[in-house]
Copies of this chain bind each other. A is one copy, B any other.
Amino acid sequence: MSREPITLRDMGSFHVGGRVVEISGKPEKTVMFSAGGVPARVDPNGAYLVEAMYVQYFLPERRNGKYPLLMWHGGGLSGVTYETTPDGREGWLTQFLRKGWDIYNSDAVERGRSGFAPPDVWASAPHFVSMADAFIRHRIGAAWSNDPAAREGLPGNLFPLDAYDNFARQFVPRWTTTDAAISAAYNALIDKVGPSVLLFHSQAGGFGFPLAQARPEMVKAIVAVEPAVAGDVTQAARLKDVPILMLYGDFIERSARWPAMRQIGLDFAEAVRTAGGTADVLNLPAAGMRGNSHMMMMDRNNADIADLIHDWLTRRGLVA
């Protein structure tokens, strides 16, 4: 092992938020939980704890990030986004840990280890992400094939194409009707850990920006990695004391949706600056860094991008 060891003063996990719901009117049933085991009589009625959020934390012995760094993943994914990359390199979780940040990596409500609520509570069905859909939509490839050898990556793309199937293993079902529950749990996380730096990706723009606008005193900086949406431009002044860095990768002009999605971010950044705030936009290709997909935390140059983010946080006075 050629890497330096990682020394932690603590590590662990917890859940935040959630609520108790009561389910009633259902018949008792017999459930065989394990083949060859003992059947159980189960009353499906009663209290269920739903909409809590799972958070895993890693606290380096030599801390120099002044605030906790919260990592929030995008849609159809979980906190695994920030762990080991699909091709087995270090992800941003350990890269920022090595830089001295206290890391809190969570699975949004409904996703991964946060679990999901019974259909009695959430009437709508989950959405499943196909291999082809993410391949195109996340600006990894130009043309999909079930045959890995026949997949066409975007030219110069830095996503580890050979490991795409491992990325597809990370996909988890998602709902499109649970935004309020997800936001409530992120608020509960901030309540627990206190003022923090938010690093969020894609869908989580719809949670991070509104939370920061509602509670700017709890957010010391925002790192928005290709946010799918931004905050309320009419309330941009709420963020005048919260420095923002937005990052965008390559191939946006080739995408059906990303030109408009990026424009939402650019317009919001402009509104924050007009209100006297700091909103830096880092278009990686314009900075000479070509080839990044929507999943830049997994791309081959993910360590270089982590360095850029850490340097920006350092310039903002958030590193001791």
List of B residues within 8 angstroms of A15 by Cβ: 166, 169-170
List of B residues within 8 angstroms of A318 by Cβ: none
User: Quick one: which of A93-140 are within 8 Å of B by CB?
Assistant: 94, 107, 112-113, 115-116, 118-119, 125, 127-133, 137
A157 to B8 alpha-carbon distance, docked (Å): 33
A43 to B133 alpha-carbon distance, docked (Å): 7
Q: Verify B35–A229 contact, CB threshold 8 A.
A: yes
Quick one: closest B residue to A231, CB to CB?
B36
List of B residues within 8 angstroms of A264 by Cβ: 36-38
Q: Verify B54–A229 contact, CB threshold 8 A.
A: no
Given A18-B169, A46-B133, A166-B15, decide whether A80 and B113 contact each other with a Cβ distance below 8 A: yes
Of B10, B36, B132, which one neighbours A229 at CB under 8 angstroms? B36
Count A interface residues, CB 8 Å: 88
Given A94-B11, A112-B112, A146-B20, decide whether A36 and B206 contact each other with a Cβ distance below 8 A: yes
Q: Verify A168–B49 contact, CB threshold 8 A.
A: yes
Q: Verify B257–A48 contact, CB threshold 8 A.
A: no
List of B residues within 8 angstroms of A143 by Cβ: none
Of B5, B32, B90, B128, which one neighbours A48 at CB under 8 angstroms? B128
Of B6, B18, B131, B172, which one neighbours A113 at CB under 8 angstroms? B172
User: Quick one: which of A1-33 are within 8 Å of B by CB?
Assistant: 1, 3, 5-15, 18, 20, 22-23, 31-33
List of B residues within 8 angstroms of A12 by Cβ: 83-84, 88, 90-91, 94
Q: Does A234 interact with chain B (Cβ within 8 Å)?
A: no
Q: Verify A49–B113 contact, CB threshold 8 A.
A: no
List of B residues within 8 angstroms of A40 by Cβ: 137, 256-257
Q: Verify A34–B206 contact, CB threshold 8 A.
A: yes
Q: Does A302 interact with chain B (Cβ within 8 Å)?
A: no
Q: Verify A5–B1 contact, CB threshold 8 A.
A: no
Least CB distance from A99 to B in Å reads 15
User: Quick one: which of A69-100 are within 8 Å of B by CB?
Assistant: 75, 78-80, 83-84, 88, 90-91, 94
Quick one: closest B residue to A255, CB to CB?
B38
A137 to B12 alpha-carbon distance, docked (Å): 27
Quick one: closest B residue to A52, CB to CB?
B169
List of B residues within 8 angstroms of A11 by Cβ: 6, 58, 94
Q: Does A64 interact with chain B (Cβ within 8 Å)?
A: no
A52 to B166 alpha-carbon distance, docked (Å): 9
A12 to B80 alpha-carbon distance, docked (Å): 9
Of B6, B116, B172, which one neighbours A8 at CB under 8 angstroms? B6
Nearest 7 pairs of A and B residues by beta carbon: A15-B169, A12-B84, A115-B172, A52-B169, A49-B168, A13-B83, A112-B113
Given contacts A1-B9, A13-B84, A46-B133, 18 further A-B contacts (CB under 8 A): A5-B61, A6-B7, A8-B8, A14-B88, A20-B146, A33-B75, A33-B176, A36-B264, A38-B257, A40-B137, A42-B133, A44-B130, A45-B130, A46-B132, A49-B171, A54-B80, A112-B115, A116-B173
